[in-house]
Structure formats: C-alpha cells, structure tokens
Amino acid sequence: MTETDGKNHAKHRNGEVHTDSATVEDVFDDTYKAKEGPRPPTIIVWRNVMLMTLLHLGALYGLYLIPSACALTLAWALFCFVVSALGVTAGAHRLWSHRSYKATLPLRIFLAFANSMAFQNDIYEWARDHRVHHKYSETDADPHNAQRGFFFAHIGWLLVRKHPDVIEKGNKLELSDLKADKVVMFQRRHYKVSVLVICFLVPMLVPWYLWGESLWVAYFIPALLRYTLVLNATWLVNSAAHMWGNRPYDANINPRENKFVTFSAIGEGFHNYHHTFPYDYATSEFGWKLNLTTCFIDLMCYLGLAKERKKVSRELVLARVQRTGDGSHRSG
C-alpha cells in the first residue's frame, strides 16, 4: 500500500497516514471525553439473556451428541464453521468494516450469504459497531468496551442496552459506502429470513437429505453447536485479545497478539497489529501463517474475484515496532 498517497488523508495516531473515506472511520480518535455526572444505568435485556442461555445449553447438548453423529455430519459442521467464519472475517470485517480490499459482485454475494450463516447482526450494523469500536476503543463509545471486564466484552454487551455514547458517536460515522453497497442493503432488508434459511435450515437439512442424518442431530450439531462456536470464537477477539498477549506494535493500546484467538478466529487474533494498522487486509505481517482468511482473500485475488489489497510496508511496521512496541516483536 502507498500509505502516503491519495487525497483523503486520515492522520492515524502516532503519525501514519492512510486514505479512503471508509478507512478514515476506523482510525482511533483520542479526543473522546466521558461525560461528567453519574453513569447511565445498565439496563438488562432479559429476552437476550434467555435466548443466549438456551443457545448455549443447546450447544452443550450438541457436544454430547457428537459420538452419535455420522463422520460426514461432523465434516459438514466444520465446513459450515469455516464458511460462516469467512462471512465475518473476510466479509463484515476486512471488506465491509475496513475496506482493506475490493471484491467483485459475485464475491460480495457469497460473503453476504456466508455472513447470514454466521447470524451476528446484518453487515451494516456489524460494520457500524465495528468502526465505532476502532474509533473509540476502550471508552464508553466502544460497544464492547473491554475496560468493563471480560464478561462484558465477550457477551455481556449483547445482553444490555447500549451506552448512549455508542449511539451518539456511531451516528456521526461516515457510512455512505455501506449504504451505497446494494449487496449490504439487500442483506439488511432480508436479514431475518436469510438467517432462518442459511444459519439454521440449510445446515440442518443438508445432512438429513443427502446422507440420512437424523434431523435431531443435524439441528444440534451443524446448526446450533456450530453457530455457538463461531459466536464465541468471534467474541474472544473482543475479550481475550483485548486482555491477554503481547503488544509488539503499540504498547499504548489494549489489543494484544493472542495465538489461541488467532487459531479459533481463522486469523483474527493478531489484534495489536490490527488496531495499529486497521487497513491492512491480512491483519498481520505474517502472511498465511495461522491466517486462513488471508489465504482465502489471496485465492479470491488469484481467481480475479478480489483486488487492491492494502498492505502495510515492512519498513513502516519495523519503524512502528521501534517507536511504540513493547519489545516482544519477532520477525517470523
């Protein structure tokens, strides 16, 4: 990437500059000031508490059913895990939140389909929350502010009403690129039915129809258990990767490099690197290492379905490591 080219420069904290109206909105803004006076009350949404409890109980039951499932059903569950994970990592995250590469219409349609399989709110809502997370990281305007503890950053934020600052700051974000993307808006309009079909019915009916798996097992393993595992792998980026691990690129921010999260979230645990260089399509300086999502985007480029991957130069990474890293940087 040519970090200093282009007209719409955005000054990144500590001096880097990058371009493009979308990526401007993932730049950390250190001007946030918490309002004075008492904190707004935390309002629990009991419906979500109940649904998330039932989902996790269903997933535990799915684990218990594993020995009674066909091998093909387990392979299918793994396939659905990877597809839905890519819908989040390559789709909602690296393409739509950060605009770190460009995708053709067929690829965007596939990623929106995969994203509905992950059922993590529609792409528009996900990307809006994610931009506000980067811009106001670790403040009350961050939807999953890790300063409020592991549980809040992991799942708690989905069980309570949002802090008013999330909505206030989120409303000021530039989201015109998302509004202009017909695939994003189509998925938003048809979100509920797409989730019902792609996240639950397809994963359940394929094993039943194609190789005679029982509907019961097919519901609890490829549908519920797989969905719950993708959710928790994603949430670990917000919780564990904001708490545990090294900070080779910027010791002044909370996000960390966390190998376990990198593995479970198919390449999204290099989180100190990612918050330092949010516009890098690989979210890491190590290419394909532990990074299935980067392999996928590279494959899509090879097939002509994606292009214009943004990458931070090695010199810039090393300069940043010298300037703000915690001294733990390794080159491989």
Size of the site for Zn ion (CB under 5 A): 1
Task: Name the nearest CA neighbour of 107 among 97, 117, 119, 115.
Answer: 115
Closer by beta carbon to ligand ST9, 73 or else 116: 116
- Partners of residue 44 on adjacent β-strands: 160
Residue 45 binding partner per list Zn ion, ligand ST9, none, with a CB distance cut-off of 5 to 8 Å that depends on partner kind: ligand ST9
CA distance 277 to 319: 13
Are the C-beta atoms of residues 137 and 126 closer than 8 Å to each other?
Answer: no
Map 189-224 to HEC letters. HCHHHHHHHHHHHHHHHHHHHHHCCCHHHHHHHHHH
CB of 316 to ligand ST9, least distance (A): 22
CB of 229 to ligand ST9, least distance (A): 8
> Which residue's beta carbon is nearest to the bound ligand ST9?
170
CA distance 76 to 80: 6
CB of 7 to ligand ST9, least distance (A): 27
Question: Which residues lie below 8 Å from residue 5, measured CB to CB, with a gap of 6+?
Answer: 19
Q: Is 102 helix (H, G, I), strand (E, B) or coil?
A: strand
Residue 233 binding partner per list ligand ST9, Zn ion, none, with a CB distance cut-off of 5 to 8 Å that depends on partner kind: ligand ST9
CB of 173 to ligand ST9, least distance (A): 7
Residue 105 binding partner per list ligand ST9, Zn ion, none, with a CB distance cut-off of 5 to 8 Å that depends on partner kind: none
- Strand 17-18 vs strand 10-11: parallel, antiparallel, or unpaired? antiparallel
CA distance 7 to 245: 36
Residue 88 binding partner per list Zn ion, ligand ST9, none, with a CB distance cut-off of 5 to 8 Å that depends on partner kind: ligand ST9
CA distance 46 to 2: 48
Query: How many Å is the Cα radius of gyration of the chain?
Result: 20
Q: What part of residues 220-279 is at the interface with Zn ion (CB under 5 A)?
A: 255
Closer by beta carbon to ligand ST9, 107 or else 213: 107
Residue 170 binding partner per list Zn ion, ligand ST9, none, with a CB distance cut-off of 5 to 8 Å that depends on partner kind: ligand ST9
Closer by beta carbon to ligand ST9, 100 or else 213: 100
CB of 299 to ligand ST9, least distance (A): 18
Binding positions for ligand ST9, rule: CB under 6 A: 45, 48, 85, 88-89, 93, 119-121, 125-126, 128-130, 132, 143, 158, 161-162, 166-167, 170-171, 230-231, 233-234, 237-238, 265-266, 268
Task: Name the nearest CA neighbour of 275 among 248, 255, 259.
Answer: 255
> Which residue's beta carbon is nearest to the bound Zn ion?
255
Q: How far apart are the first and last CA of the chain?
A: 21
Task: Name the nearest CA neighbour of 102 among 25, 11, 177.
Answer: 177
Residue 249 binding partner per list Zn ion, ligand ST9, none, with a CB distance cut-off of 5 to 8 Å that depends on partner kind: none
CB of 146 to Zn ion, least distance (A): 8
CB of 68 to Zn ion, least distance (A): 38
Residue 230 binding partner per list ligand ST9, Zn ion, none, with a CB distance cut-off of 5 to 8 Å that depends on partner kind: ligand ST9
CB of 70 to ligand ST9, least distance (A): 24
Which residues in 72-98 are b (16+ Cβ under 10 Å) and which e?
Answer: ebeebbeebbbbbbbbbbbbbbbbbbb
Closer by beta carbon to ligand ST9, 162 or else 289: 162
- Report the interface residues with Zn ion, using CB under 5 A: 255
